[in-house]
Structures are given as C-alpha cells and as structure tokens.
Amino acid sequence: MNELIEAVPYLGKRHPRLTKWLIIIVALVAPLIAAYFGRSWMRILDFALLYMMLALGLNLVVGFAGLLDLGYIAFYAVGAYTWAFLASPHFGVHMPFWIVLPLGAAFAALAGIILGFPVLRLRGDYLAIVTLGFGEIVRIFMNNLNHPVNITNGPQGINALDSLNLFGWNLAQSLSFGDFKIHYLYLYYYFFLLCVVGSIVFIKRLQISRVGRAWAAMRDDELAAKAIGINVRNMKLLAFSLGATFGGVAGGLFGSFQGFVSPESFSLMESIAVLTMVVFGGMGNIAGAIVGALILTALPEILRNIALPVQEALFGTVILDPEVLRMLLLSLAMILMMLLRPAGLVPAHARYSRPELLKGGA
C-alpha cells in the first residue's frame, strides 16, 4: 500500500493518508465511473484487474527472483483450460469454483515446477528463450489436441464455460433488490478486486519474508546467495511455481468471466504484453505491476476510442486498427522504457534491490 501511495505523483509524498483514502475510494467507485462511459469500459476494468493479477505473478518471477519468463501466459492457459474442462458442457462436468480454482492453481504450479526443473541451470537470456519455447509448446498442444481424441477442441476453443458461482450465488446474473439492479459486471469487478487485494497482501508479506529476501539476494548475485547458504534451486522452483499459481488462478477467473477459451488468447503476444506491464511499471515492485497493468490495459482502449474517429476524420478510412495500435504501443513502451527509464515508471524501493544494478553503467 505504501508503495502504491508513493506511486501517486505529487500527492503521494505530501499527503500520504489522504492519498490512501483516495486510492481506496477510486478503486471502489471506478466501475460506477466506467459505467457512465458504457458497458465496454466496465469490461475493460474487469480485464485490467485480471492483468494486474498476471502482472503481480510475473513480477514475482521476473522482478523478485530475476528469472525472465517469456512463457508466462502458458500458466494462465493451464488455469483457463482447467476451468474449461471441469466446469463446462465440453466434458459435461460442472464442478464448483472452490474445487476448480484451486485445482487450476495446482496444475499451473505443477507446470511451473515441470518447467522449472530442466531450466534451473540456465540464466538470463537462455532462460528466456527456453521459457518462450515452453509457452509455444503448450499453445501448440492446445491447438492440436483435438485429434485423435478431442481434448481441447483445437483452435475453435471451448464454449459456454460455467460462470463463477459463489455457493449458490451466480456472479453472472445481475443482482436485484426490487427495482434496484446491480449489473453482473459490477459483481465481477468487486470479486476480482478482492482477489487483487488479496494477492497484493500475500505478495507484500512474501517480499519481506525470508523467501523474498532470498530471492532478492539470488537475483542480485546468485553465487553470493549460494555462498551464504541460500538453496538457490529450491528458491527458483518456488518462484516459478508461485508465479504460476497466480497465473493459474487468473486463468480460471478469466475462463469464468469470458465464458470461452481458445488458444488464441494465450499467444506469445500476451506473454509479452504482461511482461511489458511489469517492465513498464517497474520490475520488482508491486505498485509497478499494478500501475503498469492498469495503464497498458487502459491506454490501448483509450487510443482505440480516440484514434479511430481521428483517422476516419483525417483519411476517411481506418489505417491503424486497434490491434495494430496495441502492438505498436506495447513494443514502443518496452523499447523506450528500457532506453530512457530502465527502472520503470515506479522504480523499486531501494531497500529490496540494488539501484546501481538498475541504473547500469558497468
């Protein structure tokens, strides 16, 4: 929370308590404001929260433990497909969320360990490429496992996933008290918000725990970490599996919210997008992951709403469609951030990292 407060420009440093309440209030009323602009903005907010969970999880791996993972979206996919298998008409299984979500998280964690074991010895850029390969392998399997036995339904994906049902309270149905109706997008928003807040608390505790400090030591100097008795192997596996767990939970929530999963949602571009959020916000910093996810989810949508009419007015046709704009924005964000401000928008707190490593100049 403190980091988040400091991340607010101007106000954060001068009036921390005021800022704290401001953040809480904005988080609570955000969907009401979004609703004013239309349903699609509420949906975007819900997605922003999902991306926050992903960015928080990836930040654990990349920012805290220093392991560049380019296949992170595979864990999201594992979570989403677990939901699709166990809570949809595809296999005719409809299990409640309190079984499916933990199972998805467990499968994702397992996938994290499966990936982690062989790549333990790799560092830096090699690790990145192998994890990228892992992500691609998962995607290729999702795409092709509809033959000879139909498991994933191939590129068409799986439809009509069960929505989130909290002990008989279906989040996909709008709540009504007499004339007063609460749209289901609000319900999802607050539920996701709860998940994100829970994640933040958990990760913050983790960061200042023995494990978090061990990760920081390992990230800054692996050899030295080994020498002071940190079990680097276990710490790496823990980072991969914990990061994957967040991906798995977010994936399950995504499946329930979207009601539809297909390999297309888990392309390399998505891994890169989440990585960009972490890098843009500031690696190794919880507030960075939150800010990065929020900005990079919202900005393409804002651009979409501004750029399209502008283009139509100027040229008569749409030259850059929204998807192109998003890619352009993400790739430029990545390059320019690395060149101009490598520590990110919200640089990590000095106590848990070595700023001279972030500034470079070796």
Nearest residue to 173 (alpha-carbon basis) of 186, 160, 159, 161: 186
CB 94 within 8 A of CB 280: no
15/3 Cα distance (integer angstroms): 14
Q: Which stretch binds another protein (CB under 8 A): 12-20, 79-87, 132-140, 199-207?
A: 132-140
Q: Does 357 bind another protein (CB under 8 A)?
A: yes
125/67 Cα distance (integer angstroms): 9
Among positions 49, 279, 294, 345, the unique one binding another protein when judged by CB under 8 A: 279
User: DSSP letters along 49-67, please?
Assistant: HHHHHHHHHHHIIIIIS--
Q: Does 269 bind another protein (CB under 8 A)?
A: yes
CB 115 within 8 A of CB 71: yes
Among positions 160, 227, 318, 328, the unique one binding another protein when judged by CB under 8 A: 328
Q: How many CB atoms lie within 10 A of CB 20?
A: 16
Q: What's the min distance (Å) between Cβ of 314 and another protein? A: 16
Which residue, 30 or 346, is less far from another protein as judged by CB? 346
By CB under 8 A, the count of residues binding another protein is: 50
Three-state secondary-structure class, residue 38: coil
Three-state secondary-structure class, residue 231: coil
Q: Which residues from 37-96 bind another protein, rule CB under 8 A?
A: 62, 66, 68, 70
Q: Does 14 bind another protein (CB under 8 A)?
A: no
Which residue, 245 or 276, is less far from another protein as judged by CB? 276
CB 262 within 8 A of CB 80: no
Please report where in the chains the tokens 């509809």 appear, as a residue: 146
Q: Does 296 bind another protein (CB under 8 A)?
A: no
Among positions 4, 84, 105, 128, the unique one binding another protein when judged by CB under 8 A: 128
Give Cα separations from 33 to 89, 228, 356 (angstroms): 36, 51, 41
Among positions 2, 144, 150, 176, the unique one binding another protein when judged by CB under 8 A: 144
Q: Which residues contact another protein by CB under 8 A?
A: 62, 66, 68, 70, 118-119, 121-126, 128-130, 132-134, 136-137, 140, 143-144, 147-148, 269, 272, 275-276, 279, 283, 319-320, 324, 327-328, 330-335, 338-339, 342, 357-358, 360-362
